[in-house]
Amino acid sequence: MSVSSDRAEPDQPGRAETSVETPEGAPPPAPPPGDAGAAGRRAILKRRVGQIAMHVLLVIGALVTLVPFLWIVIASTHPTSGIFSRPPNLLPGDFLVQNLVNLQAMTGFARVVFNSVLIAGTFTIIGVVVCSMAGYGLAKHRFRGRGVMLGTVLLTIMVPYHVLTVPLFQLMSEIGWINTYQAAILPFVANAFGIFLMRQSFLSFPDELIEAARVDGAGELRIFYRIVLPAVRPSLAALVIWLFIFQWNNFLWPLLVLTTREMYTIPVALSSLIGLSRIDYGAIMTGTAIAVIPVMIVFLFFQRQFISGLLGGSVRG
Amino acid sequence: MHRTPIRWLVLLASLALLVAACAEDDVADDEEVAADTPADELEGELEVWGWNVAAGSLDDLSEEFEEEYPGVEVDVRDIGRLDVYDRLTVGLEAGEGLPDVVQLETDRLATFINAHPDGFVDLAEYGAAELEDDFDPAMWGEVEGPGGEVYAMPWDSGPAGVFYRTDYFEEAGVDADAIETWDDFAEAGEQIRDEVGVDMLSVDMPGDDAEFRMLTQQQGSFYFDEDGDIAVTSDEAVRTMETLQDMADRDIVSNDADWDGLVSATSGGDIATVPFGVWWTGTLEEEVPDQSGDWGVFELPAFEEGGNRASNLGGSNLAVVADTDYPEAAYRFAEFTMADPENQAFGLDEWGLFPGYLPSFDEPVFSEPREYFGDEPIYETFAETVEDIPPVNYTEDFAETQEIMIDAQSDILLEGADPAERLEEAAELISNQTGRQIAE
Amino acid sequence: MTLASSARAVAGRVVGRSGEDPKGSSPPAGRPRRRLRGRAGWFFVAPAAILFLTFFLYPIVATFVMSLQTREMGQMVFVGLDNYERLLTDPVFHTALFNTLLVLFVQVPIMLVLALLLAVLLNSALVKARGGFRVIYFLPAVTSLVAYAIVFRILLHTDAGLINQFLGTLGLAEPDWLNRTWSSRVALMASITWRWTGFNMVIMLAGLQAISNDLYEAAKVDGAGPVDRFLRITIPMMRPILLFAAVLSTIGTLQLFDEPFILTGGGPSNATLTLVYYLYQQGFQSLNFGYASAIAWFIVLLVAVLAFIQFKTIGREDPT
């Protein structure tokens, strides 16, 4: 009943529909040859139909998902008056450059994008280290106070953020951090969701392998860094993506602690364009469309990890 | 492991007590006030928060101010409207991170002053009380405390009128001058709907009760009466809701969500009128430039012939935060920008901010023709209504009450609830939430 | 031997105790390692612990203290449990609670199932252009809120909105989306689903990737079809990640604020008012921070209970 590990090499392309990847763009694996015949062909046909149905569903879903976003992109090429025309303008206009110029003039958008990248980038780097370490400690080590620690992690996300802002803001001004990058980065960097995500991911890692490494005399940090961490690469990628968009979209806290225009992040700068009687929606749409680009770069880069994270392979290596 | 959560709770509880014991409120001491430093000796650095056009106008004026007061530096920060409130709220709660001068809308003022009576400088200490006669009395009433304190300088107000599409009215054969009552207005609306095929006005039915506030104030009523009792069951309030419901029933109301909804209904040419505050001028000129020449203004229709046709929607003030290190310089800045005819006229001309400072009404901008409005001097029309605008009592419970009233409006206009009954219900809820009495 | 038992046996072998009982095995007896590991454990959690102590201890305690206070004449004074008692009789709070639980019990399950299906599909070799699909489905999660609100209001406009124009061409009913009690709730839930499904899909993709291929191979040898494999291998092996997604969505829902704030303003007539939106109204609009904090601690209690149940049922573990 046991399955020996050499029965299916982890790196070898298998045929299970649910789990195995082929390089992007390559055709799916061919059905097993040799068992031709009516039944085999029917099975192939059935699979084909299923495959086409899957694609149709995915494309419909993708269209539904894309429409609102495409609309933002189109709106970014119109002046405010063109955005609200009825019926809506469905074709791109020629106002993109002017919107960009306005956005830069009103918010200093280049600097704002820089701030966002710096803050979200630093936040993500520190966050990945802190969260994966804490998640590992909580999942794979037993120590006094572990329960308290897990409870604290959960407590910090259970208390609604809005009421925490007042005392947290007090704390920031006591230590003189108002209008500094670290005030925007550090308080939320031990991100509870991130820690929890990593804990859940490490839970699936076999204890025997850690024990074996200890017997071999490996240090705890080395075990973590060299053996355990590589095995959860897909989760690390998810963590990076989570941390980055959390901070990228974070609004209320940066609004409170970043008080001058040169320090604003993108959501804060876009929000500052909303007054009472005049709002430049063209500039807001353009800012939104631009704001997506860096996140998509991060996403595209890290989602590739979802192809190569088979558990067995990395342990062996 | 099982005992730890309890120990954790005990720790938390004892910490709570510790924090409670340490929590002292910093109450500003009464300071000696020296309010007459000569302009060239006054020193300070002022951080000013405002939004959008208001911040723009302050920023323009700050240069002149700095010339007159060479020792004072002014930094105007243009922050989004809700963002100013979020920051100010947290800043006042925390007692840290506050500006020196801040823009506050009239309807929010009482809420902030009530929660933080020591949070703002009493400008009367610097001589603001002497300016009382120069300001629109309704606006002055809002910034004045019970003991003669002056919590802010009145800035702009929103005298109301009906903005209308002259071309649609002409096409439908409706004479705007003949519209004297809201009944006339609704009938004209039906005519325009039939002839032109557009709605008469736009209301954000589930989201904003601007029309209700404007029309009750027109009749000398509001959420609260002058004693602060709940007045939403008054005849005036019920009549307002009935009028709005009647217009909705006649199918002449377009329901558009939020500011962008109104802007798109306007720029799409879907509505024939916008009964609103004077500041709508700025939006039209800016956001709907291609309709220049198609718009005019007439006074709000009355509820009965010969009735009051003046009301107000919106308006803001400039307050000095008590946390400031330079209260006198801050006051001078507020005085310079708010109580100067030329500077206020500049704000109107350049930024569409209608002054509450009466001496500025003699400035040329009031009688100048506006190109956008077919060369009519529309500001004159608004200025003429100012003395007839009834004062209202916003109270510190404005925000909470507004939420409840928007819900009532939503049920009345969208679900066909009976106005009198639904307002009765709303009054009960307001009373529950705020502890106020319902006016007899 | 049944398929289930073989899969579970394989799972037990490959992932050790984690899927079933994370606390079941104890370290081998008689070794001095225990203490060492205790110290190592603290070493790993220390950075997070220090950050929490520095930045959250005081705010959390202060919030709790505030929930026992109210403002009188501009000063905060202690009123015991008055704020909590007010929760019991405040009809607006009850509406907000109902609305929030409605989203939790209706929208969250739909979204998680959708996300799981998407993740499985976009993990499958049979699907072409997976990377492209992943990007598209993930896009909504990174769209700035201001623009998102405007777009959805334009799409959902009763007369001029694209959605109703589309439904009209199909000859279907055209709901008065943001103006009716239930249609506005549907619109709210749809927009939350739009924004967050892709993100949950990414989390689940990560979980799927951690499942060893051996398990599927073994099950195939035993003759299991795709559905069997999904139910007997994917779901049990995904347990920790499903727990994470469920807890995350529960907390996210109980703290739902952005969508109702920008899309519906809580209306019509409070039909989409959520707990945290009400908290915001009380704290940031009416400046009743005492009452707002009491609402916050009610939410903490509710999340704790729900998370406990989820740990027990989905995670099958004993939360400490």
When scoring B49, B59, B81 by the number of chain A Cβ atoms within 10 A, the one with the most, hence best to mutate, is: B81
**Whether residues A159 and A63 fall in one domain:** no
Per-residue pLDDT of chain A in tens (317 residues, 90 and over written 9)? 333 333 333 333 333 333 333 344 444 444 445 555 777 788 888 878 888 888 999 999 999 888 888 888 998 998 877 777 766 777 888 899 999 999 998 889 999 999 999 999 999 999 999 999 999 999 998 888 888 888 888 888 889 988 999 999 999 998 999 999 999 999 999 999 999 999 989 988 889 999 999 999 888 899 999 999 998 888 899 899 989 988 998 988 999 999 888 999 999 998 888 765 567 888 888 998 998 888 888 888 888 777 643 333 333 22
Mean pLDDT of B300-321: 94
**Whether residues A214 and A308 fall in one domain:** yes
Cβ(C299)–Cβ(C318) under 8 Å? no
- Which of the two residues, C8 and A201, has the higher pLDDT score? A201
Which residue matches tokens 């940031």?
C284
Mean pLDDT of B195-203: 95
In CATH, B158-313+390-434 is 3.40.190.10? yes
Q: Is the pLDDT of residue C15 over 60?
A: no
Residues of B in contact with C144 (CB under 8 A): none
Which value does ipTM take for this structure?
Answer: 0.82
**Whether residues A150 and A288 fall in one domain:** yes
Please count the structural domains in chain C.
1
The pLDDT assigned to B89 comes to 94
Bridge partners of B277?
B160
Residue C146's H or E segment, with its range, is helix C145-156
Of B1, B206, B258, the CB nearest to C320: B1
Hey, is A310 helix, strand or coil?
Answer: coil
What is the distance in angstroms between the Cα of B106 and the nearest Cα belonging to chain C? 14
The pLDDT assigned to A278 comes to 65
pLDDT digits (tens, 9 = 90+) for C172-226: 888 888 888 899 999 999 999 999 999 899 889 888 887 878 888 888 888 888 8
pLDDT digits (tens, 9 = 90+) for B110-133: 899 989 999 999 999 999 999 999
CA separation for the pair B271, B253 (Å, rounded): 8
Hey, is A145 helix, strand or coil?
Answer: coil
**Whether residues A251 and A303 fall in one domain:** yes
Which range, C99-103, C151-155, C234-238, has the best average confidence (pLDDT)? C99-103
Q: Note whether residue C113 is domain-resident.
A: yes
Which residue matches tokens 């320090």?
A263
Q: Which residues 238-297 in chain B show a CB within 8 A of chain C?
A: 254-258, 260-261, 264, 268, 270
Which of the other chains make 3 or more beta carbon contacts under 8 angstroms with chain C?
A, B
**Whether residues A307 and A256 fall in one domain:** yes
**Whether residues A120 and A45 fall in one domain:** no
Q: Which long-range contacts (CB under 8 A, 24 or more apart) does B134-140 make?
A: B134/B339, B134/B357, B134/B358, B134/B359, B135/B339, B135/B356, B135/B357, B135/B358, B136/B356, B136/B357, B136/B358, B136/B386, B136/B389, B137/B391, B138/B312, B138/B389, B138/B390, B138/B391, B138/B392, B139/B106, B139/B315, B139/B317, B139/B356, B140/B356
Mean pLDDT of B245-256: 94
pLDDT digits (tens, 9 = 90+) for C254-290: 999 988 988 888 878 899 999 999 999 999 999 999 9
When scoring B12, B111, B118, B403 by the number of chain C Cβ atoms within 10 A, the one with the most, hence best to mutate, is: B403
Mean per-residue pLDDT over chain A, rounded: 81
CA separation for the pair A246, A231 (Å, rounded): 24
CA angle, corner B160, sides to B155 and B162, nearest 5? 145
**Whether residues A212 and A81 fall in one domain:** no
What is the band of C166 on the pLDDT scale with cuts at 50, 70, 90? confident
Q: Note whether residue A101 is domain-resident.
A: no
- Name the residue in chain B with its Cα closest to that of C147: B260
Q: In CATH, what number does B44-157+314-387 get?
A: 3.40.190.10
Q: Is the pLDDT of residue C25 over 70?
A: no
Q: Note whether residue C108 is domain-resident.
A: yes
Q: Which domain does C227 fall in, by range?
A: 91-313
pLDDT digits (tens, 9 = 90+) for A69-92: 888 899 899 887 777 776 677 788
What is the band of B234 on the pLDDT scale with cuts at 50, 70, 90? very high
User: Domain containing A231 — which CATH number?
Assistant: 1.10.3720.10
Which of the other chains make 3 or more beta carbon contacts under 8 angstroms with chain B?
A, C
Q: Note whether residue A311 is domain-resident.
A: yes
CA separation for the pair A7, A5 (Å, rounded): 5
Contact at CB, B429 and C90, closer than 8 angstroms:
no
Residue B49's H or E segment, with its range, is strand B44-50
What is the distance in angstroms between the Cα of B147 and the nearest Cα belonging to chain C? 15
Residue A23 contacts C, CB cutoff 8 Å = no
* Domain spans, chain B: 44-157+314-387, 158-313+390-434
**Whether residues A68 and A195 fall in one domain:** no
**Whether residues A56 and A184 fall in one domain:** no
Residue C164 contacts B, CB cutoff 8 Å = no
Of A80, A178, A272, the CB nearest to B97: A178
Pick from A49, A71, A96: which residue ends a domain?
A: A96
Of B4, B78, B259, the CB nearest to A272: B78
CA separation for the pair B132, B123 (Å, rounded): 12
Please count the structural domains in chain A.
2
The pLDDT assigned to C16 comes to 35
Q: Which residues 310-339 in chain B show a CB within 8 A of chain C?
A: none
- Sign of the torsion formed by the C-alpha atoms of B176, B180, B186 and B191: negative
Got the DSSP string for C71-119?
Answer: EETTEEEE-TTHHHHHHHH-HHHHHHHHHHHHIIIIIHHHHHHHHHHHH
Q: Tell me the whole-structure pTM to 2 decimals.
A: 0.85
Residues of C in contact with B112 (CB under 8 A): 287
Torsion, CA B305, CA B307, CA B313, CA B319, rounded to 10: 170
Contact at CB, C268 and B117, closer than 8 angstroms:
no
Q: Which domain does A86 fall in, by range?
A: 38-96
Q: Note whether residue C50 is domain-resident.
A: no
User: Domain containing C148 — which CATH number?
Assistant: 1.10.3720.10
Q: Note whether residue C295 is domain-resident.
A: yes
Query: How many Å from the N-terminal Cα to the C-terminal Cα in chain B?
Result: 62
Residue A255 contacts B, CB cutoff 8 Å = yes
Cβ neighbourhood burial of C120 (10 Å; 0-12, 13-18, 19+):
buried
Residues of B in contact with C283 (CB under 8 A): 89
Mean pLDDT of B39-50: 90
CA separation for the pair C157, A88 (Å, rounded): 11
Hey, is B97 helix, strand or coil?
Answer: coil
* Amino acid identity, position B222: F
**Whether residues A81 and A160 fall in one domain:** no
The pLDDT assigned to C61 comes to 93
